Amino acid sequence: MHRLHRIAPEISAYRTLTTWQRPLFVAIGSLLLLSVLVWPFLVALVLCGLATVLYVIVFVYRLVIFWQVVDRPPVVTVSDDEAEAIPDSDLPVYTVLVPAYREPEVIANTLAAVQSLRYPHDRLDVIVLLEEDDIDTMAAARAARPASYVRVVQVPVAPPQTKPKACNYGLTYARGELVTIYDAEDRPEPLQLRRAVAAFRALDSSVGCLQAQLSYHNAEQNILTRWFAAEYVAWFRGLLPALVAQDAPVPLGGTSMHIKRDVLEHAGGWDPHNVTEDADLGMRLRRLGHRTLVLGSTTLEEANSDFVNWVKQRSRWYKGYLQTWLVHSRHPLRLWRELGWKGFLAFHLIIGGTPFISLINPVFWTLLLLWIAGKPALVAALFPGPIYYPAMFCLAIGNFLVVYTNVAVVYTNLVVVRQAGHDRLLLAMLLTPCYWVMMSIAAVKAVLQLIIAPWHWEKTTHGLDQPTPPAEELRPVHRHGA
């Protein structure tokens, strides 16, 4: 279970900061503090300039990679006929891991969804992973009378109590050649496994992983779910294919990633200490030379509809991204060699940039508000010519382009999006800046948690799309979203 930490501690998030990172951060931190005391304005100006440069790079990068895939994103599509054409005897054994913790209400739904997969039962190996102390869910699972090919495995209680640890444990029981994960409340499209098999067969052997596209079944619930749904569409149908086209590492979603078993073991399984083990695995796969592609098959999940719950989930994602970024930055030269410059750039801008940008956004929003309110000279002085114009570009045009590209991606996929039941996304997308505010709140929380409790996994409550949501409290259990 802790294999990764033992065999390759450099790639494990067991320690957040490695040998040279900690002294470097301490050095930077103290230098900054010292300079702020001596030359406060100059330091502020330099930071402002650096931040502006980063913003410009991120905006332009996003635009460029999106434009490169705008009319034919590299998504692997398998038709229904092709998927069904494979004779049962030709199909490999498929392991489906279903990690769950404290999900007694929804485990039955999950089992039903998994059992509706169209795959021969003798070749399906479903392993439900429950923690030893999770009596309620175990009882509910048993009561749901799962089919014969479903095994319920009890994961021994041991820190860290996280989903990747459970999955690693489950892997030791796995029989299959291909592995995938489905979470509680996931509703995979029934032919997904077959499509994955067909795709793997037709593709190069360097393809080790196929990430299916995630979507939400409760997108219409409120504005938050709509934002979330739009974000997912842009992510799985826009950004991930764009990264694939860049030959960059693909941050996986926490479910519906279809991996070859040997590839997974070669990569060392999941990192139990990383709270976004999926992104981390994606990095490791790419570094070892395995490609990940996007599979044109949808799994429906439940979108977080509650603000507090959403912040918890998002802060975990940001924390995990920061962990992943720190871990994989440990040997920059090696990383460059393994990923190539495009992958290297994508890694820093997407994995490191996403939480970081959310973190510094509030600073600039505050400056903007101050300036609108009273045009204080200090704010004007922080933006001399060479910083002012790029910053204006980012404010006026960069933000617009982000929303615009999201709208374009959703629109390109409107047929699919409609099938999933999302219909009123346009207005929500135009209000995205409010969503960004929420992301920033989550980012601040993430950084704090990173320092205090890096492995702490805040569980997302499920079942909130039901009319009378159960009264779930904060519990450090695992769940995931992408």
Partner 1 sequence: MRHLPDAVGESLAVPVASEGKIIFGLALVVYLAAASALVFGHNIIEGDAYSRVGNAYYVLYSRDPHLAAIGFVWNPLPSLAMLPLLPLKQLWPAIVGAGFVANIVSAVFMAGAVYQLSRALGEMGLRRPLRLVFTGLFALHPLVLYHGANGLSEAPTLLFFIFTVRYLARWLRHGEMPDLVLAGTGLGFGYFARYETLPAGMTALLCVAVVSFLRCQGDRHQRTVSALYDLTICGSPLALSFVIWTMASWIIVGHPFEQFQSVYGNSSQARYFGAPRPVVTADVGILTPLLASWLGQALVRVLLLEPLLPVVLALLLPVVWLRRDAAVLAPASVLGGALLFTVGTTANNTIGPANRYYIWAIPLAVLLAAQVVAWNGSRGGRAADKTEDRRAGSTHPRKATSRDGGARRVLPWATPVSSTAPAPASPTRWSIGAGQRDVPTRVARALVALVVLAALAGSFPSATWLMLNPRLSFEAAGLRKLYDPPGVAQYYATAREAAQDLDSLHLGPGKVLLDTFTGFPVVLSSNNPQQFVITSDRDFPVRLADPVGTEVAYLLVPPDEPLDALNRRYPSLYQTGAGIADFVKEFRAAGDPGVWRLYRVRSTLEQVQRR
Write down the least CB distance from residue 215 to partner 1, Å. Answer: 14
Buried-state track 393-424, b at ≥16 Cβ within 10 A, e below 16:
bbeeebeebbbebbbbbbebbeebbeebebee
Report the interface residues with partner 1, using CB under 8 A: 68, 70-72, 74-79, 82, 198-199, 202-204, 206-207, 244, 247, 291, 293, 296, 389, 396-397, 400, 404, 407-408, 410-416, 418, 423, 426, 430
Q: CA-CA distances (angstroms) from residue 474 to 195, 360, 462?
A: 38, 28, 12
Write down the least CB distance from residue 198 to partner 1, Å. Answer: 6
Is 245 or 441 the residue whose CB approaches partner 1 more closely?
A: 245
Least Cα distance to 210 among 63, 94, 377, 116 occurs for 94
Q: Distance (Å, rounded) from C-alpha 89 to C-alpha 86?
A: 8
Is 307 or 411 the residue whose CB approaches partner 1 more closely?
A: 411
Write down the least CB distance from residue 264 to partner 1, Å. Answer: 19
Bond into 384 cis (ω within 30):
no
Is 3 or 342 the residue whose CB approaches partner 1 more closely?
A: 342
Q: Distance (Å, rounded) from C-alpha 361 to C-alpha 318?
A: 14
Write down the least CB distance from residue 10 to partner 1, Å. Answer: 29
Write down the least CB distance from residue 205 to partner 1, Å. Answer: 9
Least Cα distance to 221 among 465, 453, 471 occurs for 465
Write down the least CB distance from residue 296 to partner 1, Å. Answer: 8
Q: What is the largest CA-CA distance in the chain?
A: 75
Is 195 or 261 the residue whose CB approaches partner 1 more closely?
A: 195
Q: CA-CA distances (angstroms) from residue 269 to 95, 135, 262, 281, 295?
A: 14, 27, 10, 8, 21
Write down the least CB distance from residue 142 to partner 1, Å. Answer: 39
The pair of three-digit structure tokens given for residue 48, joined into one six-digit string? 């402002």
Contact 379, 370 (CB under 8 A): yes
Is 133 or 247 the residue whose CB approaches partner 1 more closely?
A: 247
Q: Distance (Å, rounded) from C-alpha 455 to C-alpha 168?
A: 16
Q: Distance (Å, rounded) from C-alpha 223 to C-alpha 305?
A: 8
Q: Distance (Å, rounded) from C-alpha 459 to C-alpha 142?
A: 23
Is 199 or 234 the residue whose CB approaches partner 1 more closely?
A: 199
Look at the block and give the residue holding tokens 């603000």: 307
Write down the least CB distance from residue 235 to partner 1, Å. Answer: 18
Is 36 or 86 the residue whose CB approaches partner 1 more closely?
A: 86
Write down the least CB distance from residue 388 to partner 1, Å. Answer: 9
Is 430 or 474 the residue whose CB approaches partner 1 more closely?
A: 430
Is 235 or 318 the residue whose CB approaches partner 1 more closely?
A: 235
The one-character DSSP state at 208 is E
Least Cα distance to 162 among 471, 454, 482, 470 occurs for 454
The pair of three-digit structure tokens given for residue 347, joined into one six-digit string? 């890694």
Q: Distance (Å, rounded) from C-alpha 209 to C-alpha 261?
A: 10
